[in-house]
Structure 1
Amino acid sequence: MRVENRLSQIRKSRGVTATELSRRVEVSRQTIYAIEAGTYVPNTELALNLARELEVTVDELFSLAGAAPKSPETFAAEVLSATSVSKGQPMRICQVGTRWVSVPVSATPYYLPEADGIVKAPAKSAAKADLLVFEKQEASQKRLILAGCDPATGLLSRMVERISGVEIVSAPASSKLALTWLTEGKVHIAGSHLEDAKSGEFNLPFLRNEYPNEDFLVVTFARWEEGLVVASGNPKNINRIDDLARKNVKFINREPGSGSRGLLEQLLEKAGIPQAKVRGFDRIAYGHLAAAYCVLSLDADVCLATRSAAQTFGLDFIPLHSERYDLVMRRRTGELPAVKAFLDVLQRATLRRKLEVLAGYDTTETGALVA
């Protein structure tokens, strides 16, 4: 049976020229072209080298012509989630370096979520699961994982996909969790808005203190306002952080490690309010939109979130603090063609206008390199 290959398609999707690939695997450029044309079948060593350089499996590069279509494949992947996953849960998958990671997706009313497969069985460790996926090789091409808590990065993700074809898989996470995943090699980009209480600087002091040996590239996404999100019309007249201590006010908090949780704790300490006095301090919502939705559904009277979260659900917003949200990645990751396409979109005026109008963000520093 004739050997078919997807070398040309995968190479081009990675933004790698034939000359560059030939240099990496130490063969001539003509050899690469011959393999792509199907006139030369590489030996095992060359096939393995090609797969390694393009970060795919040999099976994804080469197959036998006439082979039966693949059935859904089962394989183990790491799970990026602040909560445990369940059997049958839809998942997106992505290859980060040589490891496979998966991200749970949630359904919106009336529509099944877009997914690559489902959880076949949760593993003993909450950080892993056995997945049943439809087309594994598609997830290895032009796809990036972005972890963080800013819902407005969805505007950026959709524009990146429309302009460059690079697909962004969003992994909801607190700032500290997103950075942990980044340093563990599980995501390409992490979003963060961690403020240093002493200097008032965002993200850089935390990165220097926690990860002194890492070489990070830090780019500003936008500045936002964070504050109290309350029901439309503010029926309980909640205007200050002190109001959270009132007995008739029910609060919904964010998870430990999030920038919002850190801000709340700073504000309470400054106001001299014990955490135990806040009704609902131990109740957790994962993400700005999730917290704001609790207010919309009357599960809480107030939360601490961004103006964009309040605007999304038509809620009232009382600003308390301005914050800078940065996108953090390893410097070598910034050299990937897909990441360069991602960063190029940050410079577009169309994106900035959308962030200003739809999210209420200050985009003066959007796209600025801060480290």
Structure 2
Amino acid sequence: MKQENHLRNNLKSIRTRLGMSQQELANLAAVTRQTISGVESGLYAPSVAISLRLAKALGCQVEELFWLEHDLPQIEAVLTKPVNNLQQLRVSLARVGGQWIAYPLVGKDAFRQDMIPADGEGERLTDSNKLNVRLLDDNMDRLYNTVVIAGCSPVISLWARSTERWHPQLRVQYNFANSMRALHSLCRGETHIAGMHLYDVETGEYNTPFVRKVLVGKEAVIITLGVWEEGLMVQAGNPKQIKSITDVVEMGAAIANREVGSGSRSLLEQTLQQEKIPFQSLQGFEWIMNSHQEVGWAIASDMVDAGISTASVAIAFGLGFVPLRRSRYDLVILKEYMQEPPVQQLLSTLGHRLVHSQLQILGGYDISQIGAVVATI
């Protein structure tokens, strides 16, 4: 039966994403390879029975495979966080661990610098954390080829944009989150990769102890993205001659702090404890900034005198920098995601010169061990 020109399908995209040949799918769905070829090319419209068998073989819903041209696809997705008083909301979408995940584009999450385009409009299902999402276009390939990374390092966005230039069909979605939030997001199945830089005082290890504690019962791989210099960002030229946290306290200088769960907050608290300085002695300890960029902007705007961040951020804002330690920034990936083609494609670029050149000119960032597997949990 010749397929009517208003019927569209996503069969080839889903099949190739799963690494199946036409013959392998045909065997699973109990049809001929010619049937698969005919449906993918638009020559044939499958029967209801064949459509159901194809959906079952591919582990998806029929609506994800076929739709009418004048009806954009609709999918069911899991909402990553509650959104008050909004029944209709703009969302970004990605396929993580066999299910659709919806990231609400609300408040700061709706922007990087410019407003982020939405993939769809979601309508919340009653008493549920799930949405019915009406897609804004029928380019399902872009959604299936999306890798989601949660983290706080500006390096991630550089890596993502460099990768997209090398692999134009790949989309990297960077969701801002501090180290602990990123790790918990990975644990909840909301992201493919979590970026983190947390130091464990008891073991003297970076990141691995926290991964073991949070990802109980899950297998993961920890891969190094780089080692950066962390320390005190100060005003340009360091006019107050700040050389340590103790100097900040003794001078009564004001500092911008970070939220609980961030690597920068952890470094500040550990330094204060080592120097036996009460937290409340530090002016601005309760003044919370939610990113490295916000801390840099607060210092550059003369709102505060100092803040914890990295040498590369200090250079970007033209600020002074007092190093405190070198910290390893790692990527944590569940083993079940390692073989997914979009994830493999992204990780393969860690060895690419285009990525290296972007990271090398940042300053204060060592990529000599980039791509090295630190641990397998």
Under TM normalisation by the shorter chain, which class is it? Answer: 0.7 to 0.9
Please say which of residues 18-27 and 344-353 is displaced more in the overlay: 18-27
SS at match of 1:185: coil
- Tell me how far apart the structure 2 counterparts of residues 162 and 361 of structure 1 sit (CA, whole Å): 22
Distance 2:48 2:226 in 1: 48
Decide whether the 8 Å contact of 1:86 with 1:119 is kept in 2: no
Deviations 1:145-167 (A, max 9, x none): 10011111111101221222211
- Partner of residue 103, structure 2: 102
Match of 2:161 among 151, 158, 161: 158
After superposition, the C-alpha distances for 1:53-73 in whole angstroms (9 at most, x for unaligned) are 656542232123xx53549x7
CA drift at 1:188: 0.8
Contact 2:310 2:364 in 1 (8 A): no
2:93 is aligned to 93
Q: How many angstroms does 1:10 deviate by?
A: 4.2
Q: Which residue of 2 aligns with 1:144?
A: 147
Alignment match, 2:192 = 188
Residue of structure 1 in register with 2:35 after alignment: 31
For the pair 1:286 / 2:290, whether they are aligned, the reply is yes
- In 2, distance between residues paired with 1:160 and 1:54? 28
C-alpha distance in structure 1 between counterparts of 2:287 and 2:357, whole Å: 35
What is the correspondence of 1:1-371 to structure 2 with a 5 Å cutoff?
2=4, 3-12=7-16, 16-22=20-26, 25=29, 27-44=31-48, 46-48=50-52, 50-51=54-55, 57-64=61-68, 67-68=69-70, 70=72, 77-79=78-80, 91-96=91-96, 97-104=98-105, 105-107=109-111, 111-116=114-119, 134-135=136-137, 138=140, 140-164=143-167, 165-246=169-250, 248-370=252-374, 371=376
| In 1: Cα distance, 2:316 partner to 2:110 partner | 18
Q: Deviations over 1:128-152 (max 9, x none)?
A: 8887752375452211110011111
Runs of at least 5 residues in structure 1 that lack an aligned partner in the other structure: none
Instruction: Give the structure-1-normalised TM-score.
Output: 0.85
Deviations 1:150-187 (A, max 9, x none): 11111110122122221111111111111111111111
Per-residue deviation at 1:48?
4.3
- Cα pair distance change 1:52/1:151, threshold 3 Å: farther
State the shift of 1:366 in Å.
0.1
CA RMSD, Structure 1 to Structure 2 (Å) = 3.2
CA distance in 1, matches of 2:59, 2:295: 38
Q: CA shift at 1:112, angstroms? A: 4.2
In structure 2, what is the Cα distance between the partners aligned to 1:319 and 1:75?
Answer: 48
Equivalent residue letter for 2:219: D
**SS of equivalent residue, structure 1 residue 206:** helix
**Shift in Å at residue 363 of structure 1?**
0.6
**Cα pair distance change 1:106/1:247, threshold 3 Å:** farther
**Structure 2: gaps (5+ residues):** none
Distance 1:141 1:180, change over 3 A: same
Structure 1 residue 352 displacement after superposition: 1.8
Larger mean CA deviation between 288-297 and 241-250 belongs to 241-250
* Contact 1:99-1:186 at 8 Å conserved across structures: no
SS across alignment from 1:346: helix
* 8 Å contact from structure 1 (residues 25, 50) kept in 2: yes
Amino acid at match of 2:79: E
Displacement after TM superposition at 1:226 (Å): 0.6
Task: Tell me which moved more, 21-30 or 208-217.
Answer: 21-30
Distance in 1 between residues matched to 2:298 and 2:127, nearest whole Å: 31
* Aligned residues of 1:226 and 1:319 also touching (Cα < 8 A): yes
CA contact (8 A) 1:146 1:189 kept: yes
Normalised by the length of structure 2, the TM-score is: 0.84
Supply the distance in 1 between the matched residues of 2:31 and 2:173 (Cα, whole angstroms). 35
Partner SS, residue 101 of structure 2: strand
